[in-house]
Structure 1
Amino acid sequence: MDQLIFHWAGNLRFLRKRKGLTQQQLADATTIKKGRLAAQESGKTRNPRMEDQVRISTYFNIPVDHLIKSDLSAFTAEQLYELETTAPLDITGKHIRVLPITVNSDNEENMEFVPVKAKAGYSRGFSDPEFIASLPKFSLPGLPREKTIRMFPVSGDSMQPIPDGSHVIAQYVDDWSVVKSDTPCVVVLKDEEDILFKLVDNTMKLDGTLRLHSLNPTYKPFKVNANEVSEIWKFIGYVSREMPAAS
């Protein structure tokens, strides 16, 4: 196995420096701990975890087999560009990572609550089991116990009549390709500190994007690329302290 990953350390260092990143910046972007990245770059870790291989492959848009078997520093700029632009796009989200969960004493999945103070850190800590374990837990009647459920804070008036400061309850979507048009979803982006709550039109099969739009017509729709997305959660309901406006 050691021979197979001979180029991993050199390729990891080469791609990081090519993008002008420090080890800490790459760690933040991929949610791989800096110490693990440093050990892989130095060659001390000869067998990186499969999830680390997938995260690095997804971030740089380089197939895992090339990261392992090819010396990318020997590629010309044109060859690297071709490799990056022809890498297959995962429109399902299934291969990005394994979603960490926690369970209760009955071995049932907990429902985690992302408080406002943890909102900015969620996009960096979403795949860190310790971060997820630190989140408060909640329970409400009528929610499906066999599904992965989380509650997220939302802000602003883009999804009125759902008021600013509400908390949206949503179910984890493990296959993005089944998301239908006008599905209300929480969308977590890799390099953003905000958590988006929007209506989603799934255009991934057409151009590798999601079209996000609001209930409030004053906000213009926009698109995000599939490789910018880390998680999608389908809307179930919301909790608010604000009374709805009279119609």
Structure 2
Amino acid sequence: MSEITLLNGERFKKDTLIDLLREDEFYYGYMAKAALSSSSIKMLHQSPKKYKFVTDYGSPDSQALRDGWLFHTAILEPDVFNDQIFVDVQSKNTKKYKEALAEHGKVFTQKEKRDAERLADAFLRNEQALRLLDNSEFEVPACGMIGGYPFRAKADVLGKNKIVDLKTTTDIKGFPYSARKYGYDIQVYIYCELFNVPYTDFKFGVMDKGTLDIAIYDVSEEFYNEGKRKTHEAIEVFKTFFIHGADLDNYCLTGTL
């Protein structure tokens, strides 16, 4: 049975590690520093300084991330969605919201709930979108080695000959541009490697938060290869600054205009 050595030197049998990764606390807590992921590779490709800061101090929970998480859970994990604490307030700055946040640690507004339900309802009414979910498992974890380093991933939807990632956007026709801007090509490469699926089996199911339009995007070989290139460039950055100990203060970009 194969073993995986994590960034902190701990060793796990792969099957044991995958079982542990099913728990959000382990996946997003312990493993956040013990393995690389598509999110960390995106940061490393953007800036090793950003990667270090977020790894050390975390990152703020943006509204886009909150909305995306609720959309995902409303579709893929409705029991989890229904278990959330929703506060009936007009603003997160109200005393009632702050008291609920202090008591429960993670809360949402009723407006956020209604918005997520609106998106999920539109998605689940669309026959083509529903086919993305047919005969599949949801929130499936994976782990493995890429370039000699441990990686983790969690597929929104995994089925026979398909892996699907759900996204929300404010401009569905501009999604091909956004997919490159936000490093979704990196995600495609890493997920294909860890789940051992070809890029031709990867699809994005995209929901426009304004119009409720839905788009389903396949992945090209060029998009996959671009993600592969970026991933291995980022791994080299990781090795330079976080394995070999190069001075981050001396990190400097160069170029010609």
In the superposition, the TM-score normalised over structure 2's length comes to: 0.21
Higher helix residue share: 2
Larger relative CO (CA 8 A, sep 6+): 1 or 2? 2
